[in-house]
Amino acid sequence: MNVKICGMTSLEMTRGVIACNPDHIGFVFAKSRRQVSPDTVQSILNQLENEQVHIPHTVGVFANADTESLKPVMKSCTVQALQFHANEQLDICGWVKENSNMDVWLTLPISNVGKIDFEDELNHQFERLAKAAPYIDLLLLDTHDPVQGGGSGKVFQWDVIPFYQSRAQQLGMPLYVAGGLNPGNIGSLLSGYELDGVDVSSGVETDGIKDMSKVDTFIGRVRQHVHTRTSLPLS
């Protein structure tokens, strides 16, 4: 069971989050109040390397990305995975693999729709990603957010998770869950579902800034639910 803490915006915040021992940290390149530039991220990573801090697997987060928007990150930043939200065109997954050695994480947006619509949505999503599947390393479920594509702090109806788990397993892809997680609801998510990983941003913040006490409690609760699966895409 892996845990990603997303939305680092400063050196001090990144240092504090890393001290809580997450498996992945995320930097948001999408338009968001958490948006950071590739140069800022690289300067944070360089400084931590100079301090000999052990840096976890790093993920860059995009929404509605096109290849032009990826180029500055691929050129000047050493994040190890790119996470795509709200991408209409999935050719971008193959393009990343042809042009870098970065992992590709694809987010599937979950709307809180009724059961019949949900089955249509599920089929549509997996038909759409079939062609790009060879280039995708990991699937992430997040609450559909029509405005910025993710990071809304809202929970989706978790009872759809097993349907996505079985499709992800058929494709041999790990499945992570995000969307409105926090120290108060993570225990109930993990008691109900055996996941490969979880991802959080808003729920470990106070007044829009990462709150190390919440980060530490969240990660501690995830660690209580450690499973034995080990073959996950940590570079």
The minimum distance between CB 116 and ligand LGQLAAA5, in angstroms, equals: 26
The smaller minimum CB distance to ligand LGQLAAA5, of residues 52 and 111, is found at 111
Contact status: 60 vs ligand LGQLAAA5 (CB under 6 A): no
CA–CA dist 232, 235 (Å, integer): 9
Q: What is the DSSP letter of 35?
A: B
| 167 binds ligand LGQLAAA5, rule: CB under 6 A | no
Contact 77, 37 (CB under 8 A): no
d(Cα 72, Cα 77) in Å, to the nearest integer?
8
Question: Across-strand partners of 140?
Answer: 107, 176
Among 77, 173, 181, 190, binds ligand LGQLAAA5 (CB under 6 A): 181
CB 4 within 8 A of CB 25: yes
Least spacing, CB of residue 155 vs ligand LGQLAAA5, in Å? 8
Candidates 41, 63, 93, 132; binder of ligand LGQLAAA5 (CB under 6 A) is 63
| Pair type for strands 57-63 and 209-210 | unpaired
CB atoms within 10 A of CB 76: 12
Residues 150/125, Cβ–Cβ less than 8 Å: no
CB of 29 to ligand LGQLAAA5, least distance (A): 9
State the binding string over 6-45 for ligand LGQLAAA5 (x if CB under 6 A, else -): xx------------------x-x-x-x-x-----------
Q: If you search the block for the tokens 């931590």, which residue do you land on?
A: 48
**What residues numbered 77-116 form the site for ligand LGQLAAA5, per CB under 6 A?**
85
Closest approach of ligand LGQLAAA5 to the CB of residue 33, in Å:
7
